[in-house]
Chains A and B, each alone.
Chain A
């Protein structure tokens, strides 16, 4: 799987949008971009994934650049409960055996 690069930490004020960047310059055409988050002492929580089009669900929006070399996860109105480590992962889309390889992620701290 292609490697990703994320800032180690970010702060965001509660109620504001949190924009988490991710670089994946070596991504191939077969690879999706996935975002997960992990709140302390819990298993990772799926947020969103996409291939090349922007995606939105009830949790977040995923913006993927046209060249697919980077993406941004947007939490539109961050709350204190969004404080977590956010992982950007690229994964080969060819089949259920394709695994997720975690990097170091971005530690997002949401403050009052």
Chain B
């Protein structure tokens, strides 16, 4: 079964609104989680590293004020897409390393966002 779960699996929102996507580690704690975005027929692009109890680390070119990340507990990270626009429509995926050394990284099922 899944060890990392995302919610919602898909969401449709109106342009200008904000959408929150949750990522949960099941049965293990994750001080670090990663958020990716994937456009059709492209590879996964890392957006940011979510750190429990501290600020997220964003990759170059990713707007931190637009993609708000909160890692409030050891099992939950959230990604909020603020003031969403159609170009934000994408497949958003989170991942979390498991184990003391984090050698195995598991991915969530992904969340499809469509902005209309």
Contact = CB atoms under 8 A, between A and B. Distances in A.
Contacts of A43: 4, 6, 93, 95, 107-110
A87 B103 CA distance: 17
What is the interface of chain B mostly: helix, strand, loop, or mixed?
A: strand
B101 A95 contact: yes
Contact of B103 (A41, A45, A49, A99): A49
B67 interface: no
Given A96-B97, A104-B43, A42 B102 contact: no
Contacts of A104: 43
Interface string B79-116: 00000000000010101010001111111111010000
B93 A44 contact: yes
Nearest to B34: A99
A99 B49 contact: yes
Interface residues of A, number: 24
- B interface bracket (residues with beta carbon within 8 Å of A): 20 to 34
A93 to B, nearest CB: 7
A54 to B, nearest CB: 17
Interface string B4-32: 10100000000000000000000000111
A97 B43 contact: no
B71 to A, nearest CB: 12
B104 A102 contact: no
Nearest to A100: B105
Interface in A67-112: 87, 93, 95-105
B46 interface: yes
Interface of B: 4, 6, 30-32, 34, 36, 43-46, 49, 51, 91, 93, 95, 97, 101-110, 112
27 contacts: A32-B103, A38-B44, A41-B91, A41-B110, A42-B109, A42-B110, A43-B4, A43-B108, A43-B109, A44-B44, A46-B105, A46-B107, A49-B103, A49-B104, A93-B101, A96-B31, A96-B32, A96-B97, A99-B49, A100-B95, A100-B105, A101-B46, A102-B36, A102-B44, A102-B45, A102-B46, A105-B43
